[in-house]
């Protein structure tokens, strides 16, 4: 189990490493864009929420040193929730069809984006995009 630690108060939330790796990509993407957002998860059957803001410290700690292979379709679904009015929430990895067009380009809000054949996270937990193909 990995841990997300947020805020000076040290709120700690445990997730399996695979889920945490995907959440990290979405959270860091939003914060790099200077886009604060609400994150809601369920703990012991009770929903909890935090407001994420770029000025508040965040820490990701993983149990495994092995990189996780990213699932681009799951990342896209997580990002779609993060961009919604309700904010980021965890959806199942296999929940729903892969959000791609017939051309294989990930579609978001009518905009075309790059699709990734494989995405990994290195031992230092930096995002590594491999085999990226650009969309026209």
17-27 pLDDT tens trace:
999 999 999 99
- Kindly give the residue spans of alpha helices, DSSP state H, lying in 54-117: 72-82
* pLDDT exceeds cutoff 80 at 104: no
Helix (H, G, I), strand (E, B) or coil at 72: helix
Check residue 97 and give its pLDDT. Answer: 52
Q: Which domain holds residue 29?
A: 2-133
Does residue 10 register a pLDDT over 80? yes
pTM as predicted: 0.70
Sign of the four-CA dihedral 42, 48, 53, 55: negative
DSSP letter for 95, please: S
pLDDT of residue 101: 34
Q: How many domains does the chain have?
A: 1
């Amino acid at each position: 189990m990995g841990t997300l630690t947020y805020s000076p108060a040290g709120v700690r939330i445990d997730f399996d490493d695979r889920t945490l790796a995907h959440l990290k990509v979405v959270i860091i993407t939003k914060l790099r864009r200077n886009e604060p957002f609400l994150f809601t998860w369920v703990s012991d059957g009770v929903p909890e929420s935090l407001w994420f803001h770029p000025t508040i410290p965040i820490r990701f700690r993983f149990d495994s040193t092995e990189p996780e292979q990213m699932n681009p379709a799951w990342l896209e679904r997580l990002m779609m929730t993060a961009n919604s009015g309700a904010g980021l929430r965890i959806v199942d990895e296999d929940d729903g069809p892969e959000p791609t067009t017939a051309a294989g380009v990930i579609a978001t809000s009518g905009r075309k984006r790059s699709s990734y054949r494989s995405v990994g996270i290195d031992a230092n937990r930096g995002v590594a995009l491999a085999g990226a193909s650009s969309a026209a």
